[in-house]
Structure 1
C-alpha cells in the first residue's frame, strides 16, 4: 500500500492521510444535504438524489485516488446544481429528466476529450503565472465562501457586502472556532483544522446551536425515481435550448475542474515544472464521474475545492481520496448525524485554507505589468463572480491581449489564442 501510493516519496503516512481524508470529508459533507435540497426544487426525489450524490462522490473520488494518486474529492458541483435547478429547469422550463440527459451527454463528451488528451493539453498550455493566479484566486474564493457561510460577511444593497452581526450566536460560534483553529495552527499542532471542527461541533451541541441527532443510523433511500432516466430522454436533446444547456455544462465544468486541479495539485506539491503528472487520469476520473452521476441521478460533479482542507492537514496521495470515499460510504448509513456538520462548523476551515492557498500569489512576478493585469483580474473575479470559470475567462482573454500589445505574440501558445477566442464567444453567447 505504501509503495502503491508513494508514501515515502511524498513524505506522508497512514495516519496523516487518514486524518486528511476525514478532514476533507467533513468539509464537503454538506453536499449530501444541500444537493438533494436544491435538486428537489427541480422536481427530483430528494431521497434518490441523496443516494446518487453519495454514490457519485464515492465513484469519482476512488477513481481519482487510484488512477491519478491525488488527495482530492469529487462531488456534485454546488454552482452547477444551482444552474441545473434555477436556470435550466425553472428558468427555461426544461423537465429535469431532459436536463439530466444533457448532463449525461456532457459527461460522455468530457470522457472523449479526456481520452484524446485534449483537456490535458489545454491545462499544460496555461502559462505558469496564470496557474499561480488561479491557485491564489481559488484561495480568495474559498475564504469568501467561508466568511459568507459563517455570517461574518453578509449581503448589502449599497456596498454589495458588509460585516455581519458578530454578536449573533451562530456567527460567534464560527468566530470562536476560527480563533481556536488559528491558535492551534500557529502552535504547530498537526490536524488543527480537523480538531477545530470537532471542538466547534461539541461547543455547538453544548450551547444548543447544533442539534443532537435523535438517531444515528438511517435507511438508504431508493435510487428508483432517478436511476437510468437519462436513457429514456435521449431523443429530446436535439433542440436549441437543450444543446445550449449541454454547451454551458461543458464549458463551465471544464474550466471549474481545470482551475481546481491546478490549485489543489500546486498546494499538494504535485505540480512540477508547470506540468501536472497524471493529469489525464485525473480528468478521466472526473469525466467518468459526470456520466455515472447523471445515470444515478445527480447534476454534474466536479473536483471539490474543499479538498484543500485535507491537503492543508497533510494529504498528499490517493489514499486520502480512498478515506474520503469510505466516509461517503459510511454516511449512506449514518445520514442523521450529518446534521451536526453545519456551515458554521466548516467555515473556519475554508477561511484558513483559503489563506494558505492564497500564498501562491508570491510566485507571480508583480514587477511586470503584462503579468500583473491578467493575473490580478483572474484572482479578483473569482470571488466577485462566485465562479472559477469567470476568473479564468478574464485571465485567458487579457493574457494574449497584453502580449500582443507588446509584439510578443510568438510567445503565446496557440491553445491560448483558441481559449481567448472561445471565452470571447462565450461572453457573447451568455449576453
Structure 2
C-alpha cells in the first residue's frame, strides 16, 4: 500500500482534512502531547509506590492503562485527547486512603474499580453527556482559561520557578540562576520565539531543545545530578529495557472487596472513597473536555461536543481497566491541550500518543530522562494560548463576568479543575437568582448546585 493510499484511508476514518488538519500535523501533535505528559510514568510510579504497591508493576499499569484509554478515545470519540492515571487522584489514593485511613492498596483499587463501573453506567445512560451540555457557555469559556493558568502554574512549580513560601504561600524562586530554573526560563523564551516565528512543532522543538541544553549543562558541570533534590541525570542510561512484571498488582483489586465488606465501618469508608473518586473524576474530566474542546473550536453551535459520549465512555472503561491492572483513576489529561495547540484535531493524534506510551514500556531509560524543566516551556505556552476563548466572553455583563472570573480563580487557587467548575456553577446560580432570572437556571444546573453543596458540607466534613 502506497503512502498516499494509506494516508487517504486514515483520513477517511479520522477525517482530519475536514477539520483543517493533516497527517503530519496529527503525528506531530501526538508526539507533543506525549512529551508533555510522559512525566506521569515515573511520577505515578513514585506516588503509588509510597502506598506499598510494586513500583515496576505500577509503571506497567500506568503505561498500559494510558495506551488502552487513549486508543479508546481515538476509536470511540475520534478526538485528540489522551488519558492516563490522573494527578491528584493518585495522591488521594496513596496519601489519604492508604497512608491516612490505614487501608490497603487493594481496598483503594477496589474503590477505583467500583467508581469506574458507576462511570460506565453514567456514560452509557447519557447522564455525563447531559452534565457537559448543561454547563453554561460563559463557564465553558472560563474553564479553558482556568486550565491554561492551572497548567502554567503546574509547569512553573515542576521546574522550581514557583516555590512554597511561609509568608505568601507561594513565591518566585529567589535563586533563578540555579540550572533547572534557568534552563526552564531559557526554554520558555526559545519556545515563544519559535511559536511567534510560526515554526511547525514549536512546542515539541522547545521541549527537545531545552532538554538538549540541559544535557550540555550537565556535561559542563552547571547542572549537577542530585537525586535527593530531584535532579536526575539528563542522559538516558540506555535506550531499551525489558518491561517490568505486572504480576504484583494485576487483579489485586479483588482482595480489596473482602476488606471493604469486613465491617460496617469499613463499608462506610469504602462508599466515602468511591464518592470522592467519582466526584473529582467526573468534574475534572468535564472541565478538561470543555476547556480543551472550546480552545480547539470543536463545540457545535449549541456549545456541545460531538463525540462526547464516546469520550466519556473511554474514560470510564479505562478507569475500570486501570484498577484491574493496578493503578489509580484514569482520566483525560489536560496536557492534551499541548497537542491541540500543535494542530491536532482528531483521534489520529490520540493514536500517536498511545503508540508512544506503548513504546515507552520498552524505552523507559529515554522517557525517564525527560526533565520537568524541559516540559515547562510547552505547558507555559499552552497556558497562554488557552486564554483565547475569553475573547467571546461578555466582559461588560456582570452576569457572565462574575461566574467566569470565579471559575478561573478557584481553579488555580484551589489547585483543582473540578473546584473551579464547582464554584463557577454555584456563582452562576447565585447571580441568576440575584438578578431575578431563576428561570434561566436549568433543572440540571440546580441539581448540580445541590450536589456541590452536599459535597462541601457533607462529603468534605466526613473525609
Residue-by-residue CA offset, 1:44-95 (whole Å, 9 max, x unaligned):
0000000000000000000001111111100000110001001111111111
Work out the CA distance in 1 between the residues paired with 2:440 and 2:98: 44
The residue aligned with 1:259 is: 287
Work out the CA distance in 2 between the residues paired with 1:347 and 1:378: 24
Q: CA deviation at 1:294?
A: 0.2
Work out the CA distance in 2 between the residues paired with 1:247 and 1:401: 26
Q: CA deviation at 1:231?
A: 2.2
The residue aligned with 1:278 is: 307
The residue aligned with 1:26 is: 35
Work out the CA distance in 2 between the residues paired with 1:211 and 1:167: 18
The residue aligned with 2:410 is: 381
Equivalent of 1:414, from 438, 443, 463? 443
Q: CA deviation at 1:32?
A: 0.5
The residue aligned with 2:180 is: 170
Unaligned runs of 5+ in 1: none
Give the SS at the match of 1:315.
Answer: coil
Q: CA deviation at 1:214?
A: 2.4
The residue aligned with 2:156 is: 147
Equivalent of 1:222, from 222, 230, 245? 245
Work out the CA distance in 1 between the residues paired with 2:440 and 2:54: 52
Q: CA deviation at 1:367?
A: 1.2
Give the SS at the match of 1:205.
Answer: helix
Contact 1:61 1:72 in 2 (8 A): yes
The residue aligned with 2:87 is: 78
Work out the CA distance in 1 between the residues paired with 2:149 and 2:20: 28
Bigger Cα displacement from structure 2, 36-45 vs 336-345: 336-345
Size of the aligned set, in residue pairs, is: 431
Give the SS at the match of 2:116.
Answer: helix
User: Are residue 244 (structure 1) and residue 275 (structure 2) matched?
Assistant: no
Give the SS at the match of 1:305.
Answer: coil
Q: CA deviation at 1:360?
A: 1.8
TM-score under structure 1 length normalisation: 0.98
Contact 1:201 1:345 in 2 (8 A): yes
The residue aligned with 1:110 is: 119
Residue-by-residue CA offset, 1:123-174 (whole Å, 9 max, x unaligned):
1011111111111111110111111122222111111111112111110100
The residue aligned with 1:131 is: 140
Q: CA deviation at 1:270?
A: 1.2
Give the SS at the match of 1:366.
Answer: coil
Give the SS at the match of 1:161.
Answer: strand
TM-score under structure 2 length normalisation: 0.92
Work out the CA distance in 1 between the residues paired with 2:152 and 2:456: 27
Q: CA deviation at 1:400?
A: 1.1
Work out the CA distance in 2 between the residues paired with 1:7 and 1:408: 42
Work out the CA distance in 1 between the residues paired with 2:201 and 2:178: 28
Q: CA deviation at 1:188?
A: 1.0
Give the SS at the match of 2:331.
Answer: strand
After TM superposition, list the pairs within 5 Å mapping 1:18-417 onto structure 2.
18-164=27-173, 165-208=175-218, 209=223, 210-238=233-261, 239-273=267-301, 274-417=303-446
Give the SS at the match of 1:219.
Answer: coil
Contact 1:27 1:306 in 2 (8 A): yes
Work out the CA distance in 1 between the residues paired with 2:38 and 2:121: 30
Give the SS at the match of 2:300.
Answer: coil
Work out the CA distance in 1 between the residues paired with 2:238 and 2:305: 44
Q: CA deviation at 1:340?
A: 2.1
Residue-by-residue CA offset, 1:357-413 (whole Å, 9 max, x unaligned):
022222211112122211111100111111011111111111111101222111111
Q: CA deviation at 1:268?
A: 2.0
Aligned alpha-carbon RMSD (Å) = 1.0
Unaligned runs of 5+ in 2: 1-9, 224-232, 262-266
Runs of 4+ in 1 over 4 A off after TM superposition: none
Work out the CA distance in 2 between the residues paired with 1:214 and 1:109: 42
Work out the CA distance in 1 between the residues paired with 2:345 and 2:398: 35
Q: CA deviation at 1:350?
A: 0.4
Give the SS at the match of 1:233.
Answer: helix
Contact 1:397 1:421 in 2 (8 A): no
User: Are residue 425 (structure 1) and residue 454 (structure 2) matched?
Assistant: yes
